[in-house]
Structure 1
Amino acid sequence: MDIFRDKFRGIILGTAVGDALGLPAEGLSRKRVEKFFKGRWHHRLIFNKGMVSDDTEHTVFTAQCLIAHPDSPEKFIRKLAWSLRWWILFLPAGAGWATLRAVIRLWAGFSPEKSGVYSAGNGPAMRSAVLGAFFARDINNRNFEKPDAFIRASTMITHTDPRALTGAKAVAYITALGFQRDLIQKPELKEFIDLIRFPGKTDPEWIQITDSMSRCLQKDISVKEFAEIMGLSKGITGYIYHSVPAAIYAWYLHYGDFETTLSTILNCGGDTDTAGAIAGAVAGSVTGEKGIPQDWIKGIWEWPISINVLKKLSDALYFKAYGLEKKSDISFFGPGTILRNLFFIIIILMHGFRRLFPPY
């Protein structure tokens, strides 16, 4: 398999794996995660199987819209708006508050350019890895105009806080960096820091975060210790300036090691499904599908967006990005999603009930 085709699979499957592994631990503190989930990470949602949440679903929507409209951010965002409108009608569990309000505004008649709300939540970050992959050649050649237009459109449809755009760009740029064919060894620290600093170069908070990342990486500080330095000793929050730095810090520290990258993020607790999805995406951009533990992939129990559908979608996105005249059947039974979501909600409620009991 072509290395870039494998990397596209690595990003989308990595997102799903991080999302599914992290979902049972979402909202738990680091201490409770350590007590609940001992040993190597594996799927624990139901019968040692995993399911995905909105993080993977938004990745799928973004990929579908890119395939349909790879040259027009305006058409891309209009199609994404309809994907989000229909998505909310299928009763997704755990939709972010900002995203929920934005989709309601879309149904109320607001245009995709004006539907977003002022929030720096994680929504844009979980959509931007596939954008970074699709426009990797532009980003790596420092031609940011076209990819930035798509990243901005994908962000502003739900989140208008400038910090949301900074976080989304950082994820996209790091994903693109993983697409450099000759990037066998991890990039130089200065190159890494300069790249992630660029999206928020005028934001003092982002500059401070990237400076902290640089100092910690120079000292080879662990992901847990870095999270503590950021004030996240209880868990990674849903704030994009917490989740994105933690995920890309783990990406650099454990470069090329998918399992360790993801495990160290999940061990931090908090918003584990989204932080895991982001970390899984950026790690997958380096390792490809072949670097993801197969039991983590096969353990995802999903329908109608199955693992097979995700692989076909990844391939179709690769073909479109590289101008290959190949087509893949990536259709799935969309109405079945509502039945799946009702089942999913029951499982989530059962997990919530379980958390009322020890260990604390």
Structure 2
Amino acid sequence: MDRRQSRREAIVGCILGTAVGDALGLPYEGLSPKRSARLLGPPDRYRFFFRRGMVSDDTEHTCMVAQSLIDAGGDVPKFTRAFARRLRWWILALPAGVGKATARSGIKLWFGASPEKAGVFSAGNGPAMRAAIFGASLDDVPSILNFVRASSRLTHSDPKADYGAFAVALAAKHSRDHAAVDANLWLDEVVDAVGEGGAELIDLLRQAIRSVDAGETTRTFANSLGLERGVTGYTYHTVPVAIHTWLSSPNDFRKAVTSIIESGGDADTTAAIVGGIVGAGVGTEGIPHEWLDGIWEWPRSVPWMQRLGEALADSLEGDRSMKSPTVNPIAVLLRNLLFLFIVLFHGFRRLAPPYV
């Protein structure tokens, strides 16, 4: 496979891998490992809506990033403006389950804040959830870091959010470029990217690597971080556990996504991150076809996301005439209302036993 085709496969695999992980993990979001197993069963199929899956903000942000990369043509300020514009309209379409920092940033943008000042001081995992696509798409590490930083600062101003997103983006790039993962080679790149300010994250990532080398499961590693009741949305919890999962199963999409969901907590985001990283390495063919076929989405359908990935790949190969696929805003609003209804159903279901 030539370089151009390899990148195309990585981009499409990353987007679709993010979507599958997101959709599989969504019904388990916020549940402890024990309760999720008793309430829903194993994450081996979609359990959101009649054996079908739908995506949440994790996939939607990844798609908006991909669209904005096409618009930007390699220009970071242009990317920032394009992503900020999409984020404004995304907030207006009433997305369910949006994070506090992202919601506040979107509101600030509507009230006239510049993209550079819209972010709030938060180390949530929002920037990390949309970071894998940068590593799957771009070749130059400094360029990756510049785009990731612009994406992160639009919603989160805490440098920790940058560092977590850097680690995810570089993992996706490593997954794309290496058939056999070299954890230490990847970690060296992360060390250079985060500098002294990211020392705490580097320590956590080293713990993850040692845990993988010792043959520990991802859930055991999460427990060692005090996350027995599930992985939180704090980026220094989310990212090390996601990286542990990737290093444990770098070429096994099914096992990777399943094991991170079984760790509980913010399961849609953690599975979306892992799905994006592993998807960048295995491509579309490495993602179980029944999981791709089971996604029930509109207007951001699986074929639409595939077209988006292909358009991004073509634009990065120099086709400046390439336009990003668009979505009908009325269709998005109608879809979000249905999505909210299903989410509320799941919320009411959780009021009933089993409670442990």
State the partner residue of 2:208: 213
Which blocks of at least 5 consecutive residues in structure 2 are unaligned?
none
Count of paired positions: 351
Distance 2:64 2:193 in 1: 24
Which blocks of at least 5 consecutive residues in structure 1 are unaligned?
none
- Among candidates 131, 138, 141, match of residue 140 of structure 2: 138
1:157-236 aligned within 5 A: 157-180=154-177, 183-187=178-182, 189-202=183-196, 203-236=198-231
**One-letter code of the match for 2:248?**
L
**One-letter code of the match for 1:132?**
G
**One-letter code of the match for 2:238?**
S
State the partner residue of 1:91: 94
C-alpha displacement of 1:36? 2.2
C-alpha displacement of 1:53? 0.6
- CA displacement 1:269-312 (0-9 Å, x = unmatched): 10001111101000101110100001111111001111110000
SS of the equivalent of 1:113 reads: helix
Distance 1:260 1:339 in 2: 34
Could you tell me the percent identity over the aligned residues? 44
- CA displacement 1:95-141 (0-9 Å, x = unmatched): 00000011111111110000100000111112211111221x212xx
- Among candidates 152, 156, 159, match of residue 155 of structure 1: 152
State the partner residue of 1:27: 30
- Among candidates 268, 275, 281, match of residue 280 of structure 1: 275
Alpha carbons of 1:7 and 1:84: their partners in 2 closer, same or farther (altered >3 Å)?
A: same
- Among candidates 257, 279, 299, match of residue 262 of structure 1: 257
C-alpha displacement of 1:322? 2.3
C-alpha displacement of 1:14? 0.4
State the partner residue of 1:116: 119
Distance 2:167 2:73 in 1: 21
- CA displacement 1:143-201 (0-9 Å, x = unmatched): x1x22221111010100001000011111111111221xx22222x3213323333333
1:346 aligns with 2:308: no
**One-letter code of the match for 2:186?**
F
Alpha carbons of 1:153 and 1:284: their partners in 2 closer, same or farther (altered >3 Å)?
A: same
State the partner residue of 1:100: 103
Distance 2:150 2:10 in 1: 24
Distance 2:203 2:297 in 1: 40
1:36 aligns with 2:39: yes
C-alpha displacement of 1:332? 2.9
Distance 1:255 1:9 in 2: 17
C-alpha displacement of 1:247? 1.1
Distance 1:151 1:40 in 2: 30
Distance 2:322 2:68 in 1: 15
2:96–2:336 Cα contact (<8 Å) kept: yes
- CA displacement 1:59-104 (0-9 Å, x = unmatched): 1110000001132111110111110111111100000000001111
**One-letter code of the match for 1:164?**
A
Q: TM-score, normalised by structure 1?
A: 0.94
State the partner residue of 2:61: 58
Instruction: Choose 102-111 or 192-201, whichever is displaced more.
Output: 192-201
